[in-house]
Amino acid sequence: MSTSVASTDRHDVPGTCHHDCPDSCGWITTVEHGRAVALRGNPDHPYSAGELCPKVNRLVRRVYAPDRILTPLIRTGPKGAGEFGPASWDEALSLVAERVGAVIDEHGGEAVLPWNSAGTQGLIQMSSLDRPFFAALGSSRGVGSVCGLAARSGFSMTYGSGRGADPSDLRHAELVLLWGTNTRLTNRHLWPVVEDARAAGAEIVVIDPMRTITADAADWFIQPLPGTDTALVLGMLHVLVRDGFVDHDYVAQYSTGFDELARHVATWTPERAGAACGLEPDTIERLARRYGEASPAFIRTLIGAEHHEHGARFFRALGCLPVVTGSWRHLGGGLARSVGSWADVAVDDSVFDAPHDTRTFHAGQLGRTLTEADPAIHALFVWCGNPVVSHPQSELIRRGLARDDLFTVVSEQFLTDTAAYADVVFPATTQIENLDVIPAWGHLYLGWNEPAIEPLGEAVPNTELWRRLAAAMHIDDERFTWSDEELIGAALHDIDVEELRSTGFVRLPLPDPLLPYAEGGFATPSARAELWAGDLDPVGAFVPDHMPAIEGADGLGHGEYPLVLLTPKLHVRFLNTTYSRHHGELESGPFVELDAVDASARGLGDGDVVRVYNDRGELHLPLRIGDRVRPGVAIVPWGWWGAAQAVNALTNDAATDCGSGVAYLDTRVEVAPVTPA
Ligand code: SF4
């Protein structure tokens, strides 16, 4: 297999999908005379095994799409109108240096804000040389994110780190709980492993407030009310303790706080938990007994359940289940969430850090930051993201981006809803045009991504963008002289880089099988799982003082806005907001779905165009009447571009209980006819 970009004959180049997706599939790009002609899954990849998803298997078309941005652009029309003229790199860099320099001269470095998301989750293209660049400017800092941190923070309260089981080990389980994760859609390469477990006799249980395609394929589907998962865990713990499913030997050796936990959950009878979750007490009894009896039982969870105001607390509580039953002892037991926390056995991205002790803003609250920061932000850099569509309070973000006294720089491949507000847009490469390494968060393989073709037009990798900006702004740091290979080499350790580069993937240097806590070894100061409040628990015990989605969250009146809004990914051909412009026509378009009871109560019929609204915004969408949600809950899937289609116009941007993350799913709305009767 060739790895040369310079070759002009037909050859294959190994790479790795860079998207914010747990699967990090290995792929092969076929190149003919310097042009990519095909992209397919790498059949040798141990996890993705030769399959790419419908989102990515058309990537080559996107690379060569006629509306790709291939030169720098400078705004010529009103902000948001998307009117730009082409510019040379020198012109665009000079303009940025002049305008950002003027902002710093007048307002100081903290008037500059960098913002990125995970449009690529590659080691060097997502975030590397941006760090010394913005540290040198003395910019403000965006901290936290919308996803991942609440789960990791809550899990760490119990375990001391975010490290859990290898998801692929669920094939050895007797019972698999897929908790708040739509595996068949958003973690599709794990589904064959789930089917393997079922073929070997495992029961597959899905716990989700929405009937997903994964729920349809489960042996047992449990549908609690949104935001009540912690109560369900506490009810299960009540039964496990009451009925003697505790592994007292494991608990005594490897945990602290069991007695306090047992006293606490004594009050969480199945009746109390069932009332909170909207489930029959018998459902909780049966689920807990199955969990206690199974040897072993495996819990697979991902992102969804953290998007509540008590999101961290849920993961803290969930982590107690496999400790109490001692299922960590067994291959096929325990709990898996993101396995990204394991990557640091081979990856140290702190080599890109620079001293940078300035004011911070929650990166998930960009709208508030751009409209409320005092002193104000006057220069914004955006890369690897489209926050107008992907982030909450999108109308507030638009208002901030429209400010005349804000200078905005965006690095993008296409003119997204966010890029339309930029003053300068720099052309970004796609994954088959740049070098990177991908630390996965759904499996234990590190992926290499060799550039298969030369960058199109004048597009550059993000690393090169920071080098050019640093030169234009006269910023010196030795790392700006490093090549991409040198950046990667500096960050990798304990791994054979040549093997990684030649095969396209290599397993992290971890025991195989993993069995992380079979004999304790938790990362807490006591080296034990902390089952009760301790120094690690800033919220005290994990007593849910209220259930956000049903009692008091969102700050909106529940009488005026009686429906809980879920904003899941239901589309199969685009990922977050990427591909939405090019593959969106292959999907049905956004819609709102209600249960028949709620539709009838509002005099709404299937197919009606209805208003979905709250104090933050309003969407007009076709109504589907279905059975995916319970009464009191509405669905609007997210990800489509366009002002009239971004469901994040409605969503809550409150931080979760760890101070980071976003409580998207504690959003209240009402649905009504477009023209009130
Ligand atoms: S988006 Fe996910 S499933 Fe699709 S090719 Fe990329 S890593 Fe694989």
The arithmetic mean of pLDDT across residues 350-372, rounded, is 96
- What does the DSSP assignment read for 216-239? HTSSEEE-PPTT-HHHHHHHHHHH
Residue nearest to atom 7 of ligand 1 (CA): 24
24 lines ligand 1 (CB under 6 A): yes
Report CA(440)–ligand 1 centroid distance (Å). Answer: 11
Question: Which ligand 1 atom minimizes the distance to the CA of 188?
Answer: 3
Q: From the alpha carbon of 189, which atom of ligand 1 is closest?
A: 3
Q: Is the pLDDT of residue 638 over 90?
A: no
The string of pLDDT tens digits covering residues 597-607 is: 999 999 999 99
518-555 pLDDT, tens digit per residue, is 999 999 988 999 998 654 343 444 444 433 333 444 55
Atom in ligand 1 nearest the alpha carbon of residue 41: 5
pLDDT above 70 (res 52):
yes
Residue 588's pLDDT band, with cuts at 50, 70 and 90, is confident
Side-by-side strand order, sheet with 112-116: 84-86, 73-75, 424-427, 407-412, 379-383, 112-116
**pLDDT for residue 149:** 85
User: Is the pLDDT confidence value at 202 over 80?
Assistant: yes
Tokens 């005290």 correspond to what residue?
Answer: 540
Do residues 104 and 97 make contact, with C-beta atoms less than 8 angstroms apart?
no
Ligand 1 in reach of 575 Cβ (< 6 A): yes
What amino acid is encoded at 466 in this protein?
Answer: W
- pTM of the model as a whole: 0.95
List domains and CATH numbers for the chain: 73-145+345-431+455-494 (3.40.50.740), 149-337 (3.40.228.10), 548-673 (2.40.40.20)
Best residue among 25, 58, 339 to mutate for probing ligand 1's pocket (most ligand atoms within 8 Å of CB) is 25
Residue 129's contacts (CB-CB under 8 Å, 6 or more residues apart) are 352, 462, 463, 466, 467, 470, 479, 480, 487
pLDDT score of 559 more than 80: no
What residue type is assigned to position 619 of the chain?
A: L
Does 7 score more than 90 pLDDT? no
Report the atom number in ligand 1 closest to the C-alpha of 575: 1
Average pLDDT over residues 642-668: 86
What CA–CA distance (Å, rounded) separates 304 from 148? 10
Amino acid at 500: L
Helix then strand then coil, in percent of the chain rounded to 5, is 35, 20, 45
What does each C-alpha distance from 504 to 35, 44, 109, 118 come to in angstroms?
20, 9, 41, 21
- Ligand 1 center to residue 56 CA distance, Å? 6
In the predicted model, is pLDDT for residue 646 greater than 90?
Answer: no
Mean of all residue pLDDT scores within the chain: 92
Residue holding tokens 């040798």? 44
Pick the closest to residue 202 from 282, 286, 292, 296 (CA basis): 296
Ligand 1: centre distance to CA 455 (Å): 22
CA of 445 to the centre of ligand 1 (A): 14
Q: Report CA(55)–ligand 1 centroid distance (Å).
A: 7
Residue 641 pLDDT: 80
Q: Is the pLDDT of residue 427 over 70?
A: yes
Atom 4 of ligand 1 has which residue's CA nearest to it?
53
Q: Do residues 539 and 157 make contact, with C-beta atoms less than 8 angstroms apart?
A: no
Q: How far is the CA of 543 from the centre of ligand 1 (A)?
A: 37
Query: Running DSSP on this structure, what letter comes out for residue 491?
Result: H
CA of 612 to the centre of ligand 1 (A): 31
- In single-letter form, the type of residue at position 151 comes to A
Pocket test for ligand 1, best of 16, 55, 431 (most atoms within 8 A of CB): 55
Once rounded to an integer, what is the mean pLDDT over residues 151-157?
Answer: 89
For ligand 1, what atom is nearest to the CA of residue 48? Answer: 8
Residue 429 CA, ligand 1 centroid: distance in Å: 18
DSSP state of 542: -
- How many angstroms separate the CA atoms of 573 and 585, rounded? 10
CA dist 116 and 589 (Å) reads 27
Half-sphere exposure of 360 (CA within 13 A, CB side): 11
